[in-house]
Structure 1
Amino acid sequence: MEDYIMNLLVWAVISWTSAFILIRKIFPNRSFSFCNRIVSTIHASLAVTLSSLTVEDWRCPVCPLASMSSPPQMKTLTITLGYLIYDLICCVFDDHVNIDNTVHHLVSILGIGAGLVYKRCGSEMVAALWITEISSPVLHMRELLKEIGYRDTDLNLAADILFAVIFTFARMVGGPYLTYVTLSADNPLLIKAMALGLQLVSAFWFYKIARMVKNKLTKRSTSKKST
């Protein structure tokens, strides 16, 4: 990995950590998770924006396949890798350790790290970043709303449904297509394995999200009938 990428990675980890510390000072009465989710929302918005800017041709967003990564793609992936390292460390200090999320982080770190080392698959990896982060702002908004007093409200339910729709479209429509083209192209075996692993994790999360939305809608319907 080139020196400038390593320097950018170190800068990214320090920057995301500093952002968390600053937000923690701004919201001293809020939970650890609340402050971390604000950082995560900032990263998701930045990742989607930077990923969109690296697309060479929107008629084929994942083209060229199995090609050398462009400098903008390398920088975008490095900034996200720095965030993932920061967030994985946060998971250690958080009281609520989520095994699914930890596995997702490890798979993503290994996959992005391999892509940076190989300096290949930039188009596929940036597309994967876009797909995985496009639903994240709404995901975090759901939890932020709960902490500020909007749990079990219509607004929170709307956020749940919006998150489920965006996640389903991105992960279960765009995700399988991206996994297919990544596996079909002449990519390194490790990149293919990471693409498949990420899609399997997405499918598992889709199952859990579908159950969550079903239970909430059933609970809301039952509550209305009883009143």
Structure 2
Amino acid sequence: MEDFDKVYLVVYGVVSWTSAFLLTRKILPKRSFDFCNRIVSTIHAVVAVMLAVLSVQDWRCPVCPLASNSSPLQMRALGVTLAYLIYDLVCCLFDKSIKIDNSVHHLVSIVGIGAGLAYEKCGSEMVAAMYITEVSSPFLHLRELLKELGYKDTDVNLAADVAFALMFTIARMCFGPYLCYVTLSANNPILIKAMALGLQLVSAFWFCKIARMVKFKFTKRSTSKAT
């Protein structure tokens, strides 16, 4: 893929995600900025997982070949996600809801994916990372969407919390460390290795927060039933 094609793909992607957000705002004028952004984020998560699955070269070893040249499908998948991350980071700035941990996650991912597109290498590892980071995202956004729809502190919202916690734990704390290890062990560019390590550290930080959140939810539920 030529440099012009990669730049065009990312620019077109940013415009497309922004247009999807504006269209969502128009369709749902009574919903909040965050609600509409999460609709777009959910769409991206589903698209990213599908593109990641379609770009796997060898299902006997989904992260193989390691440190190899990226295929056109992998490059397109990464370009779509890079465009979304740029859109989402700017969107958070406009919404004034930016958080340090989320910003670090976005910046690490943008630099890492950008480096992967520039080097045109590590497609297998980076697409696997995209799958691992996005597979739990629909459940993350569902939690917040349900709250705005009036389902806060209900069984439905609790189910979404538990589903998100389980998916996050399995993806990021079971498969994530293995992917981080093979990425660091292979002959990958230093920026790619830094992205792998950075994402795993952020995932571990979020895992601790999620574990506390789930414990709080069940404790609160047990207390309310006892009274």
TM norm structure 1: 0.98
Q: How big is each residue's C-alpha offset from its partner over 1:174-196, in whole Å with a ceiling of 9 and x where there is no partner?
A: 10000000001010111111100
Q: How big is each residue's C-alpha offset from its partner over 1:31-55, in whole Å with a ceiling of 9 and x where there is no partner?
A: 0000000000000000000000001
Number of residue pairs matched? 226
Q: Secondary structure at the match of 1:100?
A: helix
Q: Secondary structure at the match of 1:186?
A: coil
Counterpart position of 1:185: 186
Counterpart position of 2:76: 75
Aligned mates of 1:50, 1:44 — CA distance in 2: 10
C-alpha displacement of 1:95: 3.0
2:138 matches 1:130: no
Letter in 2 for 1:87: D
Map 1:155-166 onto structure 2 (within 5 A).
Answer: 155-166=156-167
Counterpart position of 1:114: 115
Structure 1 stretches lacking a partner, 5+ long: none
Letter in 2 for 1:69: S
Map 1:75-224 onto structure 2 (within 5 A).
Answer: 75-224=76-225
- 8 Å Cα contact 1:66-1:186 kept in structure 2: yes
- 8 Å Cα contact 1:142-1:159 kept in structure 2: yes
2:226 matches 1:225: yes
Aligned mates of 1:70, 1:213 — CA distance in 2: 40
C-alpha displacement of 1:205: 0.2
Q: Secondary structure at the match of 1:39?
A: helix
Letter in 2 for 1:134: V
Aligned mates of 1:174, 1:194 — CA distance in 2: 16
Aligned mates of 2:224, 2:44 — CA distance in 1: 37
Counterpart position of 2:44: 43
Structure 1 vs Structure 2 CA RMSD: 0.7
C-alpha displacement of 1:106: 0.3
Aligned mates of 1:47, 1:211 — CA distance in 2: 28
C-alpha displacement of 1:203: 0.2
C-alpha displacement of 1:57: 1.4
C-alpha displacement of 1:100: 1.0
TM norm structure 2: 0.98
- 8 Å Cα contact 1:13-1:86 kept in structure 2: yes
C-alpha displacement of 1:96: 2.1
- 8 Å Cα contact 1:91-1:102 kept in structure 2: no
Identity, % of aligned pairs?
72
Q: How big is each residue's C-alpha offset from its partner over 1:67-98, in whole Å with a ceiling of 9 and x where there is no partner?
A: 00000000000010000000000011113221
**Following TM superposition, where does structure 1 have runs of at least 4 consecutive aligned residues deviating by more than 4 angstroms?**
none
Aligned mates of 1:173, 1:59 — CA distance in 2: 18
Aligned mates of 1:102, 1:181 — CA distance in 2: 25
